[in-house]
A and B are shown apart, each in its own frame.
Chain A
Amino acid sequence: MQAAGRLEAQNSQGILTRIGASVLYGLEILGQSVNWALRTLGSFGEIPKRAGLILDEMVRIGTSSLFISSFLAFFVGMVLVVQTADQLEGYPQEVLGSIVGLSMTKELGPVLMAFLLAGRAGSAMAAELAAMQVYEEIAALRTLDIRVESYLILPKFIATALTLPLLILYADIIGILAGAFAVAIDPAIHVSVNAYFHNLQAYLKFSDIITGMVKGLVFGAVTAILSCTIGLRARRGTEEISNATTSAVVWSFITVTVFDYIIARIVLIF
Chain B
Amino acid sequence: MKPEEGVRIELKQVTKAYGDKRVLDELNLVVEAGETLVVIGKSGQGKSVLLRLSAGLERPDSGEVLLNGVPADTYRIIPAQKKPFRMAMVFQGSALLNSLSVFENVALYLKEHGMAKGEDLDMLVMNALTSVELEHARDLYPTELSGGMRKRAAIARALATRPDVLLFDEPTAELDPLLSAEVAEVIHKIQSAHRMTIVVVTHNLVFARQVADRIALLEDGRIACSVKVSELLNAEYPPLRAFIEAAALA
Please report A residues at the B interface, Cβ cutoff 8 Å: 131-132, 135-137, 139-146, 151
- Taken together as a complex, chains A and B put the C-alpha atoms of A228 and B117 apart, in Å, by 30
Q: Establish whether residues B112 and A144, one from each chain, have CB atoms under 8 Å apart when the complex forms.
A: yes
Taking CB atoms, residues of chain B closer than 8 Å to A139 are: 52, 57, 91, 95
- Taken together as a complex, chains A and B put the C-alpha atoms of A151 and B80 apart, in Å, by 14
- Taken together as a complex, chains A and B put the C-alpha atoms of A104 and B52 apart, in Å, by 52
- Taken together as a complex, chains A and B put the C-alpha atoms of A33 and B242 apart, in Å, by 50
Interface residue B87 (Cβ < 8 Å from any Cβ of A): yes
Q: Establish whether residues A145 and B113, one from each chain, have CB atoms under 8 Å apart when the complex forms.
A: yes
Q: Establish whether residues A137 and B87, one from each chain, have CB atoms under 8 Å apart when the complex forms.
A: no
Q: Establish whether residues A144 and B109, one from each chain, have CB atoms under 8 Å apart when the complex forms.
A: yes
Shortest C-beta distance, A159 to chain B (Å), equals 14
Q: Establish whether residues A144 and B93, one from each chain, have CB atoms under 8 Å apart when the complex forms.
A: no
Q: Establish whether residues B87 and A143, one from each chain, have CB atoms under 8 Å apart when the complex forms.
A: yes
Taking CB atoms, residues of chain B closer than 8 Å to A135 are: 93, 95, 98
Q: Establish whether residues A136 and B88, one from each chain, have CB atoms under 8 Å apart when the complex forms.
A: no
Q: Establish whether residues A143 and B89, one from each chain, have CB atoms under 8 Å apart when the complex forms.
A: yes
Shortest C-beta distance, A146 to chain B (Å), equals 6
- The 22 sampled A-B contact pairs (Cβ below 8 Å) are A131-B98, A132-B97, A135-B93, A136-B91, A136-B93, A136-B95, A137-B95, A137-B96, A139-B57, A140-B89, A140-B91, A140-B95, A140-B96, A140-B97, A142-B57, A143-B57, A143-B88, A144-B108, A144-B161, A145-B113, A146-B108, A146-B112
Interface residue B118 (Cβ < 8 Å from any Cβ of A): no
Shortest C-beta distance, A72 to chain B (Å), equals 29
Taking CB atoms, residues of chain B closer than 8 Å to A151 are: 112
Most B CB atoms within 10 A — which of A137, A142, A143, A144? A143
- Taken together as a complex, chains A and B put the C-alpha atoms of A264 and B197 apart, in Å, by 60
Name B80's contact: one of A131, A132, A136, A145 (CB within 8 Å). A145
- Taken together as a complex, chains A and B put the C-alpha atoms of A129 and B57 apart, in Å, by 17
Taking CB atoms, residues of chain A closer than 8 Å to B228 are: none
Most B CB atoms within 10 A — which of A135, A142, A145? A145
Taking CB atoms, residues of chain B closer than 8 Å to A142 are: 57, 76
Interface size for chain B: under 10, 10 to 19, 20 to 34, or 35 or more residues?
Answer: 20 to 34
Q: Establish whether residues A143 and B113, one from each chain, have CB atoms under 8 Å apart when the complex forms.
A: no
Additional A-B contact list (7), CB under 8 Å, known A136-B91, A140-B89: A136-B95, A139-B91, A140-B97, A144-B108, A144-B109, A145-B83, A146-B112
Q: Establish whether residues A145 and B89, one from each chain, have CB atoms under 8 Å apart when the complex forms.
A: no
Name A145's contact: one of B57, B79, B98 (CB within 8 Å). B79
Shortest C-beta distance, A184 to chain B (Å), equals 46
- Taken together as a complex, chains A and B put the C-alpha atoms of A146 and B52 apart, in Å, by 17
Shortest C-beta distance, A243 to chain B (Å), equals 18
- Taken together as a complex, chains A and B put the C-alpha atoms of A146 and B88 apart, in Å, by 13
Closest residue of chain A to B58 (Cβ to Cβ) is: A139
Closest residue of chain A to B158 (Cβ to Cβ) is: A143
Taking CB atoms, residues of chain A closer than 8 Å to B52 are: 139
Closest residue of chain A to B98 (Cβ to Cβ) is: A137
Interface residue B55 (Cβ < 8 Å from any Cβ of A): yes
- Taken together as a complex, chains A and B put the C-alpha atoms of A24 and B109 apart, in Å, by 38
Taking CB atoms, residues of chain A closer than 8 Å to B97 are: 132, 137, 140-141
Closest 9 CB pairs of A and B: A145-B80, A140-B95, A136-B95, A144-B109, A143-B89, A136-B91, A139-B57, A137-B95, A137-B97
Shortest C-beta distance, A232 to chain B (Å), equals 14
- Taken together as a complex, chains A and B put the C-alpha atoms of A48 and B68 apart, in Å, by 36
Closest residue of chain A to B100 (Cβ to Cβ) is: A137
Taking CB atoms, residues of chain A closer than 8 Å to B76 are: 142
Residues from 41 to 78 in B contacting A, C-beta threshold 8 Å: 52, 55, 57, 76
Taking CB atoms, residues of chain A closer than 8 Å to B112 are: 144-146, 151
Taking CB atoms, residues of chain B closer than 8 Å to A131 are: 98
Shortest C-beta distance, B247 to chain A (Å), equals 28
Shortest C-beta distance, B184 to chain A (Å), equals 23
- Taken together as a complex, chains A and B put the C-alpha atoms of A100 and B83 apart, in Å, by 60
- Taken together as a complex, chains A and B put the C-alpha atoms of A141 and B87 apart, in Å, by 13
Closest residue of chain A to B110 (Cβ to Cβ) is: A144
- Taken together as a complex, chains A and B put the C-alpha atoms of A36 and B161 apart, in Å, by 28
Taking CB atoms, residues of chain B closer than 8 Å to A140 are: 89, 91, 95-97
Closest residue of chain A to B89 (Cβ to Cβ) is: A143
- Taken together as a complex, chains A and B put the C-alpha atoms of A254 and B1 apart, in Å, by 51
Taking CB atoms, residues of chain A closer than 8 Å to B95 are: 135-137, 139-140
- Taken together as a complex, chains A and B put the C-alpha atoms of A151 and B55 apart, in Å, by 20
Q: Contacts A137-B98, A139-B52, A139-B57 given; indicate if A145 touches B109 (C-beta within 8 A).
A: yes
Shortest C-beta distance, B95 to chain A (Å), equals 4
Taking CB atoms, residues of chain B closer than 8 Å to A145 are: 79-80, 83, 109, 112-113
Taking CB atoms, residues of chain A closer than 8 Å to B98 are: 131-132, 135, 137
- Taken together as a complex, chains A and B put the C-alpha atoms of A139 and B169 apart, in Å, by 13
